[in-house]
Amino acid sequence: MFKSILVLESPWDSESVESKSVWPFVSEFAKVMNLRAYHQIFSDRDSFMHWIEVFNKEPVKSKLLYIASHGSNGRIQGLQRDINCSTIIDTIKKTKDIKCVHFGSCLFGTENNLSLLLKQAKHLTWAAGYNQAVDWLDSTLFDIMLWHHIANPHRGGFKFHTRAEKVMDVGLAEILGFRFQYRRGDAIWSLWREPGDSD
């Protein structure tokens, strides 16, 4: 499904020299799964666009872009300036070797934002994120669990979206407001659980 990951992260606390980061978790996961993993910091539109373009040029063809930052419905937050949804989509549209995009950000992973991204960046296989405020540690660990199932064909089904659905059945996806959309043929399909949903 994907062979390399870029963690593109914005500092979580601009008022402290103590740093929190999703990178140590992702780095160890990548070692276990034998994936190439990279980490860069973005602070504004230009640095955001730059690192995505550089990552796209890496020789591995199937890539996961993990954007880890504070967010809102229509923006993700850089240290110096926010990046709006249209800039995010326009940047990702140009990156044909990035196949998956995962937003580790509060509020940005709405049905509308993910659908718009998949409709305009037609090379993407799937996009995911959160439509509500989430604890960064809870969401990071959930994200890694999801990737483990998607990247490992022996876990819970043959198709990546079937494996993703199995992870979402554990209940944490519902609590976190997690959204997962994927391309199947010419259609865009959605997976999520609303509070109180049952099969």
Which residues lie below 8 Å from residue 107, measured CB to CB, with a gap of 6+? Answer: 71, 72, 73, 130, 131, 132, 133
pLDDT band at 171 (very low <50, low <70, confident <90, very high): confident
Say how many residues make up the chain. 199
Instruction: Look at residue 74 and tell me whether its pLDDT is greater than 80.
Output: yes
For residue 13, the model assigns a pLDDT of 84
Q: Is-contact 179 111, C-beta < 8 A?
A: yes
| CA-CA-CA-CA torsion sign (149, 154, 155, 157) | positive
**pLDDT for 193 beyond 60:** no
Write down the H helix ranges in 72-135. Answer: 85-93, 111-120
Q: What are the Cα distances from residue 160, in Å, to 85, 122, 156, 167, 175? A: 26, 18, 9, 11, 22
**What distance in Å separates the CA atoms of residue 194 and residue 173, rounded to the nearest whole number?**
9
Question: Can you give the pLDDT at residue 73?
Answer: 85
Is residue 50 scored above 60 in pLDDT? yes
Cα 51 from chain centre: 15
**DSSP symbol at 71:** B
Q: How far apart are CA 127 and CA 119, in angstroms?
A: 11
Identify which of 22, 69, 20 has the alpha carbon closest to the alpha carbon of residue 48: 69
Report the candidate in 67, 58, 63 with the shortest Cα–Cα distance to residue 88: 67
Angle between helices 23-33 and 136-151 (to 10 degrees): 20
Task: Please give the share of the chain, as a percent, with pLDDT higher than 70.
Answer: 93
Residue 159's φ and ψ, nearest 5 degrees, are -95, 145
Ranking 21-30, 80-89, 185-194 by mean pLDDT, the lowest is: 185-194
Higher-pLDDT residue of 92, 160:
92
**Confidence tier at 180 by pLDDT (50, 70, 90):** very high
CATH: 3.40.50.720, 3.40.50.1460, 3.40.50.970, 3.40.220.10. Which one for 4-191?
3.40.50.1460
Residue 156: per-residue pLDDT: 53
In this structure, of 1-10, 108-117, 133-142, 159-168, the range with the lowest mean pLDDT score is: 159-168
Q: What is the phi/psi pair of residue 93, to 5°?
A: -55, -30
> pLDDT by residue (tens digit) across 92-150?
999 999 999 999 999 999 999 999 999 999 999 999 999 999 999 999 999 999 999 88
pLDDT at 196: 47
